[in-house]
Amino acid sequence: MTKILIVEDEFAISQVLKAYLIKVGFTVVQCYNGGQAMNLFKEHRPDLVLLDIMLPEKNGWAILQEIREESTCPVIMLTALGDVNYRLEGFDQGADDYIAKPFIADEVVARVKAVLRRSEASSDTSVKKQFGQLEIDIQAHRVLLAGEEIVLTPRDLSVLMFLAEHPNQTFTRDQLIEQVWGWEYDGSDRAVDLAVKRLRKALAGWDESEGEIKTLRGLGYQLSVHKK
């Protein structure tokens, strides 16, 4: 069964989320203290984490960073901080979605399902994409550069895979949001820019004579593949 880790110090909120998630068939593990979050994460290896930002002992940003150092597990941030800058900070650090309090539990469940669908979408095909030294194994959910694995968050991997499926085609921010983030996304389109920025950093060793993620001013982004 799909396992969700809820890291939320407000007991009532955690219990409501647990009840709604169990109702639709998920298994739930709860944590009320930031200092204990990583121990539970390593013990239970959840399929997705609902992570509050304001936590005792260790905040959500620090926990997200630790998760990303060892895992691409999808993470949805929960917080009362509604300013868009916090959303951008979360996406920049590798969060897969962001929900501001107060929220409706049904919405959280819908977001959880959507993020899990995007995370699992890569297993629907066995196609491998090869662009010089860059290899994208969609079935294995892996990216290799010169034989070395590049670890990406599920969201960033989804962006790269979508662009790889359509090389040399240009997509606007809105088109990428629709294809990767989904119709339910209500955040800033700068999340696309941040995802591309992280991908470029991760693929910094990719020979530009083979390809690059290109920005076409006023048009959008494309995986530009140079044929030799």
| Domain definitions of the chain by residue range | 3-121, 125-225
Ranking 66-75, 160-169, 174-183 by mean pLDDT, the lowest is 174-183
Q: For residue 220, which phi and psi values (nearest 5 degrees)?
A: 145, -150
Identify the band that residue 80 occupies on the pLDDT scale cut at 50, 70 and 90.
Answer: confident
- What fold, for 125-225? Arc Repressor Mutant, subunit A (1.10.10)
| Total Cβ atoms within 10 A of residue 72 | 18
pTM over 0.85: no
Confidence of residue 122 (pLDDT cuts 50, 70, 90): very low
Q: Write down the pLDDT at residue 22.
A: 95
* pLDDT value, residue 119: 72
Q: 3-121: what fold?
A: Rossmann fold (3.40.50)
Burial profile 142-177: b = 16 or more Cβ within 10 angstroms, e = fewer? bbbbeeeebebbbbbbbbbbbbbeeeeebbebeebb
